[in-house]
Amino acid sequence: MSFSNTLFINGEWKPPVRGGSFDTIDPATEVAIAQVAAATREDVDLAVQAARRAFDDGGWPLLSGKQRADYLRRIASLIRDKQQTLAELEVRDNGKPLPEALWDIGDTAYCFDFYADLAEKLDGEREQTVALTDERFSSVARKEPVGVCGAIVPWNFPMLMAAWKVAPALAAGCTVVLKPSEVTPLTALQLAEIAREAELPPGVLNVITGFGPEAGAPLSEHPDVDKLAFTGSVPTGRKIMQTAAADIKNVSLELGGKSAFIVFDDSDIEKAVEWILFGIFWNKGEVCSATSRVLVQRGLYEPLLARLVEEAEKIRIGNGMQADVLLGPLVNAAQYDKVRRAIAQGVEQGATLLSGGARPAGHEKGFFLQPTIFTDMTEESDIWREEIFGPVVCVRAFDNEAEAIASANRSRFGLAAAVMSADLERAERVARRLRAGIIWINCSQPTFTEAPWGGYKQSGIGRELGEWGLNNYLEIKQITRYDSEEPWGWYLK
């Protein structure tokens, strides 16, 4: 890459002030694939200042939605032109299978097109008359961009998570400093290059690579940042919220989950197996909304488990670049160790390891792990309660609807949940009782740019995607006018 070891600040590639760098590793081979600049507080400050100038003096928020939409569509089209290259980069950086990466990049391009449409729509909907009971006054509510946004994103869907923040922020008229995860920084750098090719005005999008404490924390602390949008772990989300409290920054958080999948015994067993597998093994289970707690009604429990194990053991594991691979390596050594520790702890706490749990044969290098299925755990055990963020699913039996709902809701998380039943009335009823932001009926995981995304409880604050995603980046201003010719007559009688 021509822009390796540099940061994208104010429309230019610049070396970091202190000159630091770090390697990014291919998790399938454990070999370094690129060297990336390590930003520190000084670089964050330069990026924020550039974003500040682009917002305050540069005219970006003053463009019409239509003009901003043109830039977003150019970005979308450049992403589509480079879809194969970007997807391959994502595979090498993150480990996910190529078809999944192609899917992510397609969604990334669509996200920019979708918010281009909403930017245009905003032109017609920017101001709304507010009906007042006092006829001496007239009032409008006006949508305006929040300002400079710090976007801090994780490593599981590197480019897509960046797009979920950058696209609506730019559509709204905000300027952005994006910090990708240090684990998967490569496609965010490509996004910066694409923004440059699309001739996005300098400072509107800045991309700084670096570590959480050295680059993420200064961004979340910076007094010139108006809004923070974060996707990642609960502990880091909590830190960001605490930091943001110092100057009451606007914050949106998309955090972890331990999502339940309730399967009633009238379900088709093959469909249930397919969606349970997809709910936990796609993207290696490194998915915040993964349905990692499966609740199966007693009548279906034994036969379903048998089919689940049979199919899980057939999943082809390997380097995501190889055809037909469905399960790539975990993202890095730290995550691999964390998931292996969670598995060991599950066994120690008395759960039955029904399938997987080890490094697959023939994969001595790389962070490969078998699809793992646990049963017989208590509701108090850590594997049932805590997010693992890997290909590990826990299955428990239940007897009736009320018990399943109560068990699913007994979690400090509330990102997603799924319910499967041939009785649609029951499925719809259960969906309305589950305390989570995203509910799937007769499926698990399909995600649509048009629909709201976010969690209840400790899974986050705010909603991304759809019109809700745009609202994250808008302030509402009231403009109220005194229209009467009559003096107000309070002091001056």
Closest CB to ligand ADP among residues 26, 221? 221
Give, as one character, the DSSP assignment of residue 486. Answer: S
Helix axes 298-312, 269-281, angle to 10 degrees: 60
Binding flag, residue 256, ligand ADP (CB under 6 A): no
From the list 85-93, 207-215, 265-273, 442-450, the region that binds ligand ADP by CB under 6 A is 207-215
Instruction: Count the Cβ atoms, other than its own, within 10 Å of residue 264.
Output: 23
Please report which residue ranges of 57-185 form alpha helices under DSSP H. Answer: 65-81, 83-94, 98-125, 158-172
Query: Is residue 232 near ligand ADP by the rule CB under 6 A?
Result: yes
Q: Least distance (Å) from ligand ADP to the CB of residue 115? A: 22
Range list of H helices, 126-259 = 158-172, 186-197, 217-221, 234-245
The residues that are catalytic are 254
Buried/exposed 285-313: b ≥16 CB within 10 Å, e otherwise? bbbbbbbbbbbbbeebbeebbebbbebbe
CB-count exposure of residue 29 (10 Å: 0-12, 13-18, 19+): middle
Q: Should residue 220 be labelled a site residue for ligand ADP when binding is judged by CB under 6 A?
A: yes
CB 202 within 8 A of CB 50: yes
Q: Is 212 in the site for ligand ADP (CB under 6 A)?
A: yes
Q: Which of residues 111-170 bind ligand ADP (CB under 6 A)?
A: 152-155
Q: How far is the CB of 64 from ligand ADP (least distance, A)?
A: 33
Measured from the CB atom, the residue of 181 and 471 that comes closer to ligand ADP is 181
Contact 311, 20 (CB under 8 A): no
For position 182 contacting ligand ADP by CB under 6 A, the verdict is: yes
Which of 108, 181, 292, 445 lies at the binding interface for ligand ADP (CB under 6 A)?
181
Phi/psi of residue 209, nearest 5 degrees: -95, 150
Residue number, 219 or 420, with CB nearest to ligand ADP:
219
Q: Which of 87, 330 has the CB closer to ligand ADP?
A: 330
| Residue 217 contacts ligand ADP per CB under 6 A | yes
Q: Does position 195 bind ligand ADP by CB under 6 A?
A: no
**Binding status of residue 252 toward ligand ADP by CB under 6 A:** no
Q: How far is the CB of 342 from ligand ADP (least distance, A)?
A: 13
Which residues would be at the binding site for ligand ADP (CB under 6 A)? 152-155, 179, 181-183, 211-213, 216-217, 220, 232-233, 236, 239-240
